[in-house]
Every structure is written in structure tokens, then in C-alpha cells.
Amino acid sequence: MFDQSILELESIRQEDVWSYDVIKSKYLTYFEAKQFEMASAMTHALRIHHSHLSEGWLLWAECTFQTDGPKAAADLLIDEDKTVSQYADVLFSIGRYLAMAEDFSNSKNYIRRAIKLNHKYRKAFLEDQVFDGLWESFA
């Protein structure tokens, strides 16, 4: 199934190969097949050809999380802070990865920044079980 899906995606016309839907489909196909290096390459294409979307950064971090863990995923996004600091969803993801890595003080900082940019992350923060350890750190 994986091989057939990739062959179909690779046969797409040249002018459509960099469209969002094609790149995202390739990413999902590789990610679901646990081909994280190739999925990561598709996130690179998203970041180049659809740079106005934060999704490319988030998917790249998710590939890194799958292969190297939460600290590496957070570090990857932190290294790109100048580029991603205006995206509340990316800041929230950094905070989430840091909470998974039990770096609670830095996690709080990124969660605070995300909530400041978009208040919907307050509810997400309160409901996400990943942050249970962060809550316990207050005790």
C-alpha cells in the first residue's frame, strides 16, 4: 500500500508537485509508514513553498519527536525562534514538548507566550494531560 501510494503521488504533473495538497499527502504517506526522514523532507518543502503556514514547522518537529524525542523537537523549534515566534501554535508546541521533557520552567514561558498571542491556548493548556507534570511542579 505504501509503495503504491508513493508511486501515485510521484506521478503527479510537474506543475502540481509543489501544491499544498500534494506535499501534505506525501508527508502523511511517509509519516504513517514511519519513514520519518522522508516525511521530514516533505516538511522542508512545506516550509519553502508554503512559508506563510506554521504547519511545516509543526510537522517537522513531530518527525523529530518521533525519532529523537521531545527535547530534540523543542530544541529544533527554539533554534528557529526568529521565524516561528509569531505563531502561537508553534510556541504552544514548544511548551508542550518541553513539558514532556520535564523542562517545566521553560515550558511555562512558551505556554505563556502562546496564550498571549492567542487565548484559545489557555483552554488547550488546561485540558492537555501532557501538562500534568507542570501542574505538579507548582506544589
124 and 75 in a single domain? The answer is yes
DSSP codes of every residue in 8-64: HHHTS-GGGTTSHHHHHHHHHHHHHTT-HHHHHHHHHHHHHHTTT-SHHHHHHHHHH
Exposure string (b/e) for 75-102, b if CB count within 10 Å is 16 or more? bbbeebeeebeebbbbbbbbbbbbbbbe
Shared domain check, 136 and 71: yes
pLDDT lower than 50: segments of the chain:
none
DSSP string, 100-135: HTT-HHHHHHHHHHHHHH-THHHHHHHH-GGGHHHH
* Domain count within the chain: 2
- Give the residue numbers spanning the domain of 31: 1-53
Co-location of 77 and 99 in the same domain: yes
pTM of the model: 0.86
pLDDT in tens, 43-54: 999 999 999 999
Residues 41 and 76 in one domain: no
Residue 130 and residue 71 share a domain: yes
pLDDT of residue 1: 53
Residue 99 CA to residue 94 CA, distance in Å, equals: 9
Half-sphere exposure for 46 (CA within 13 Å, toward CB): 24
Say what the pLDDT of residue 121 is. Answer: 97
Whether 80 and 128 map to the same domain: the answer is yes
Q: 13, 29, 53: which is the final residue of a domain?
A: 53
Specify whether 31 is located in the same domain as 4.
Answer: yes
- Report pLDDT for 81: 87
